[in-house]
Amino acid sequence: MSRPGGMTRRSIVVFAFAIVVMVVAGTSFVYKMTEFAMTIVKDDVEGFGAVAVATYLIGMLPIVFVTLWAVVSGMFADIERPKFRLLELDRELGENPRA
C-alpha cells in the first residue's frame, strides 16, 4: 500500500520511531552536557566536567558531520538498494563459482 510520495505505512512508522529516538537521545545529551557545564562553573569536582565535555564533543562532532554530509549528498535517498545489490551479487557468485 503505497502513499503519494512513495512512503509506505512501514516507512512512516520507522521514520516516526527514528524521530522519537533522536529526540529522546538529544534531550538526554543536552541534559548531560548542561550538567557537566554546571559542574565546571560551580567547581564541584575540579576538572571532571572539562574532560567529560571534551570527550563528548570530540566523539559527537564527527558523527554529526558525517551524518549531515550523508543526508545532504543523498546517501539516504534509497536505503534499500544496497540490500538488494548484495543479494544480486550473492546470486551471481552462486551461479558462477570459481574452481
Q: What is the pLDDT of residue 94?
A: 85
Phi/psi region, residue 3 (left: phi>0; alpha: psi -120 to 50; beta: rest), is beta
φ and ψ at residue 6, rounded to 5 degrees: 85, 5
Reference 37, options 54, 49, 25; nearest CA is 49
Q: pLDDT tens across 8-50, in order?
A: 888 888 888 889 988 888 888 888 888 877 777 776 666 566 6
Amino acid at 43: D
Predicted structure pTM score: 0.41
Q: pLDDT tens across 75-96, in order?
A: 888 888 888 999 999 998 888 7
Whether 37 contacts 57, CB under 8 Å: no
Q: Would you list the domain boundaries of the chain?
A: 9-95
